[in-house]
Chains A and B, each alone.
Chain A
Amino acid sequence: MAFSKKVVPFFHISSLYRISSIIPVPHVIVRHSTNFNASLQQEDDDQPIQNLSNPYQKEKRCCVLCKYDVKVDYKNARLLSQFLSPFTGKVYEKNITGLCKTKQKIVEGEIIKAQNAGYLAIMLKKVEYLKDPKLYDPNRPVRPHRY
């Protein structure tokens, strides 16, 4: 312990400052006459670029079906049932599913087709599909809704 007490003040940060003051740092940059014009041009290049795209612009958001280019088919009951409520068997709205306008319309149309063709039940969701991965959280809608 006694040794460490002696050693620590020797390695204090202020000792580093003293060393840097002793070592000479070249402040003056010598500019040769031959390279003078070239250096001036370089200074012009260093001007801020005018037509620069916004570097802080966020990436464009895309809905799940558009992102992975999923083909929605009325025979694919498993995919369609992911957009159904397990409590009512009805289709969740656009603000909950997070789909774009056109895809939501396609999904709703395909669900009606599937129900008419006998691939999907009308009032319930199949028990095997209940543990499928969730695409959205119905309790956290994109936009608030009237229920």
Chain B
Amino acid sequence: MPLYELSLILRVVSKPELVASLKRSAETIVQQGGVLRQFISMGTNPLPYKMRAHTHWHREGIHFTMKFDAPSFAVEILKDEFKRDIDLIRTHVVKLEEPIKHECTLEEELKPPAYRKDVQQLIEEGKKTIRNQFQQNTPGFDYYPFQK
């Protein structure tokens, strides 16, 4: 079961209503065989643009995230469930993965192209490939026997 992150944007409602709607969405995850890991409240914020959901325009929203483990087939069902929830403006499920460890390669990239390793590899590959040369289809002759 991979780890997912659900980001919710809820319409601005009173606190008991908010709790009820969060419980509802959390229960749907549990019903699909998911395990809840973390709840993060990010407060009421103005939206980047006015959004329309369930025949209403919204300019503000309550941002909330949940982390949960769930089987991969449950995600589609969850999306379908959240679509019908009136309190939710936007939902988005993201698969969480461990960040890639890498070293900064900016110094290598800023070199002129002839000194870059990836360009040097390309040049070597280009040398290896033999281009199709024209072959005369004249068996038995090493020259073209007809008048050109």
Is the beta-carbon distance between A121 and B48 smaller than 8 angstroms? yes
Q: A113-B94, A117-B92 in contact; A77/B109 too (CB < 8 A)?
A: no
Q: Are B105 and A142 in contact (CB under 8 A)?
A: no
Stretch from B18-26, B96-104, B134-142 forming part of the interface with A: B96-104
Encode contact with B along A67-104: 1 for CB under 8 Å, 0 otherwise.
Answer: 10001001101000000000000000000001111110
Measured CB to CB, the closest approach of chain B to A115, in angstroms, equals: 9
Beta-carbon contact of A102 and B100 below 8 Å: yes
Q: Which residues of B contact A62 (CB under 8 A)?
A: 104, 106-107
Given contacts A101-B105, A102-B100, A102-B105, contact A117 B49 (CB under 8 A): no
- Contact string, B65-97, partner A, CB cutoff 8 A, digits 1/0? 100000000000000000000000110101000
Interface SS of chain B? strand
In the bound complex, residues from chain B placing their C-beta under 8 Å from that of A142 are 110
B47 interface residue, CB < 8 Å from A?
yes
Chain A residues whose C-beta falls within 8 Å of the C-beta of B90 in the assembled complex = 117-118
Please name all residues of chain B whose beta carbon is closer than 8 Å to the beta carbon of A99 when the two chains form the complex.
106
Quick check: A101 and B94 within 8 Å, CB to CB? no
A120 touches B48 (CB 8 A): yes
Q: Tell me the complex Cα distance, A60–B105, Å.
A: 10
Q: How far is the CA of A117 from the CA of B51 in the complex (A)?
A: 12
Name the one of A74, A100, A121 contacting B104, with C-beta atoms under 8 angstroms: A100
Interface SS of A by simple majority:
loop
Residue A135 interfacial (CB < 8 Å): no
Q: Is the CB of B109 within 8 A of A117?
A: no
What's the tally of chain A residues with a CB closer than 8 Å to chain B?
A: 27
Contact among A71, A118, A124 for B92, CB-based, below 8 A: A118
Interface presence of A119 (CB below 8 A)? yes
Complex interface bits, B30-65 against A, C-beta within 8 A gives 1, otherwise 0: 000000000000100001110100000000010101
- Contact flag A66-B106 (CB < 8 Å), given A74-B94, A116-B92, A118-B92: yes
Q: List 27 A-B contacts (CB under 8 A).
A: A60-B107, A61-B106, A61-B110, A63-B106, A66-B103, A66-B106, A71-B99, A75-B7, A75-B42, A75-B63, A75-B65, A100-B105, A100-B109, A101-B109, A102-B100, A106-B100, A113-B94, A117-B7, A118-B9, A118-B48, A118-B51, A118-B61, A118-B89, A118-B90, A118-B92, A121-B49, A142-B110
B contact set with A: CB distance below 8 Å = 7, 9, 42, 47-49, 51, 61, 63, 65, 89-90, 92, 94, 99-100, 102-107, 109-110
- Top 8 A-B pairs ranked by shortest CB distance? A117-B92, A66-B104, A118-B90, A121-B48, A100-B106, A62-B104, A63-B106, A121-B49
